[in-house]
């Protein structure tokens, strides 16, 4: 039996309460490339995958979003940028969550002002 022939992930939906406040956060604070807005929907480009912000009108879709982990080259600079924009970061700050022989995986967590948990993540290669 053949599969669905998936060609990758097209879009991720993230529920918000205030579309204008959410657009300002994702566009102006996170710096995500804004694509367009249509009523209570706003779309951003995440490296070829669309992020759709939505005020859900159907109770079936009204639930917290899954955390989004944004890959960054310099987690400390990303953390400092968010703090400088008044984003409340979780107390542990940027920290190592995994280390192996080739890299360290660093993360730092924060909310988007809409109740959604987000993270910056950085895979830092270890010197050989």
Tokens 């102006």 sit on residue:
28
Domain 67-128 has CATH 3.30.1120.10: no
Specify the pLDDT at position 127: 84
Question: Quick count: other Cβ atoms within 10 Å of Cβ 77?
Answer: 13
Tokens 């599969």 sit on residue:
3
> How many Cα atoms occupy the beta-carbon half-sphere of 24 within 13 Å?
9
> For 79-99, b where at least 16 C-beta lie within 10 A, e where not — what string?
bebbeeeebebeeeebeeeee
Q: How confident is the prediction along the chain (128 residues), in pLDDT tens digits per residue?
A: 567 777 788 999 999 999 999 999 999 999 999 999 999 999 999 999 999 999 988 888 888 778 999 999 999 999 999 999 999 999 999 999 999 999 999 999 999 999 899 999 999 999 87
Q: Where in the chain is the domain with CATH 3.10.180.10?
A: 1-61, 67-128
Residue 40 near residue 55 (C-beta atoms within 8 A): yes
What is this structure's pTM? 0.86
Specify the pLDDT at position 2: 64
Specify the pLDDT at position 3: 76
Specify the pLDDT at position 1: 53
Give CATH for domain 1-61: 3.10.180.10
């Amino acid at each position: 039996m053949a599969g669905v022939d998936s060609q990758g992930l097209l879009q991720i939906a993230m529920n918000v309460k205030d579309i204008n406040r959410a657009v300002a956060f994702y566009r102006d604070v996170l710096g995500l490339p804004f694509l367009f807005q249509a009523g209570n929907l706003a779309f951003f480009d995440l490296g070829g995958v669309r992020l759709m912000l939505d005020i859900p009108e159907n109770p079936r879709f009204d639930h917290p979003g899954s955390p989004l982990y944004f890959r960054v080259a310099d987690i400390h600079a990303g953390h400092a940028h968010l703090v400088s924009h008044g984003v409340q970061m979780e107390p542990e700050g940027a920290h190592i969550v995994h280390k192996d022989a080739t890299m360290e995986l660093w993360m730092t967590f924060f909310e988007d002002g809409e109740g959604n948990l987000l993270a910056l993540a950085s895979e830092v290669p270890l010197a050989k």
